[in-house]
Structure 1
Amino acid sequence: MKITEFFQNELNVTNLDVESKEEIFKVLFKKLYDNGFVKESFLDAIIKREKSFPTGLQLNKYNVAIPHTDPEHVNKPAIAVATLLNPVTFKNMANPVEDVKVSIVFMMALNEAHSQVEMLQQMVQLIQNDSVLEKIINAKGGGEIIDIVKNASFILN
């Protein structure tokens, strides 16, 4: 399955002005829930999982977070994206005592456990490209984010 199939215009938010990861989670959850992708239990599951297994990633130029949770909270797979007006603090996935100032959040809603590893691998390939992340940060809307990801899909082959 290609990662590009999981991005939907209505699930993306650009220049989100929030102060905490919980606020980001609520905004992206609402988009996923209102569009039928996740169950009501998804938000609590994301928040709980983030406390035990942080998802902030320290990268070269732009830091990202990839929150996700167990498949039983998901109706159909999707990836919701938020670009942040101001970076928000997440705990570092590699070293949970460290903070990471995150500028882009990719919330993954996957309904099959085995697909998480494959999607995370494709996501890592995508986020390791600084120019792709910069284009996503500068995107003016959800449709533009989808175009950027589709144009970057050559990276994922």
Structure 2
Amino acid sequence: MSDDLVISEKLIFNGLEGGFENMIYTAGEKLQELGIVKSSYPEAVIIREKEYPTGLEGVHGNFAIPHTYSEHCIGSALSIIRPPKPLEFVRMDDHSKSILCGLIVLLAIDKPEKQLSMLRKLMRAMQDVEIFHILESERSSKAVVETLRKICL
């Protein structure tokens, strides 16, 4: 990824209530305010998650990386969503099983060829206990942003 990836404290969401769809709409509204996604983005993420689940069992904890097609994105950004209680996600590797995820990394990627590379970077980074702990539970949004920049830029 290059410098056109937006990683900002404005895109760190702690304790959002109301379930998965509400969280995606809340984050999507902020991404839209920042000119990163189109108005179609939140609904497209929700639909894609139903078709292609993104829940992943990690070595240090479970996480999900919901995203959608680049046609709904104007730019690229990462958002971190940390719900008050873990949310149920269908596993990416076994659609017959669900897991609870306390960390959601919401992707908005404007070029399809960048998406797989970003997913790989994130999945690799989640295997590091320190990185996972910072992204999942660090209270300082600044520390979360710095960690994401080290991973992605």
| TM-score, normalised with respect to structure 2 | 0.90
Which aligned pairs between 1:108-123 and structure 2 lie closer than 5 A?
Answer: 108-123=107-122
Identity of aligned residues (%): 23
State the partner residue of 2:13: 13
Partner of 1:104: 103
Asked if the contact 1:3–1:123 (Cα under 8 Å) also holds between the matched residues in 2, the reply is: no
Q: Distance in 2 between matches of 1:65 and 1:129?
A: 16
Q: TM-score under structure 1 normalisation? A: 0.88
Between the two proteins, the alignment pairs up a number of residues equal to 153
Secondary structure at 1:85 match in 2: coil
Cα RMSD of the aligned pairs, angstroms, is 2.1
* Structure 1 residue runs without a partner (length 5+): none
Q: Which runs of 5+ in 2 are unaligned?
A: none
Residue 28 (structure 1) aligns with:
27
Residue in 2 aligned with 1:88?
87
Task: Go from structure 1 to structure 2 and tell me whether the alpha carbon gap of 1:9 and 1:31 turns closer, same or farther (over 3 Å shift).
Answer: same
SS at match of 1:107: strand
Bigger fraction of residues in strand:
1
Distance change >3 Å, CA 3–CA 139, structure 1 → 2: farther
- The secondary structure found in structure 1 opposite 2:9 is strand
Deviation at 1:134, TM superposition (A): 1.0
Q: Name segments (4+ residues, structure 1) moved above 6 Å.
A: none
Secondary structure at 1:101 match in 2: strand
CA, structure 1 residues 19+60, in 2 after alignment: closer, same or farther (shift >3 Å)? farther
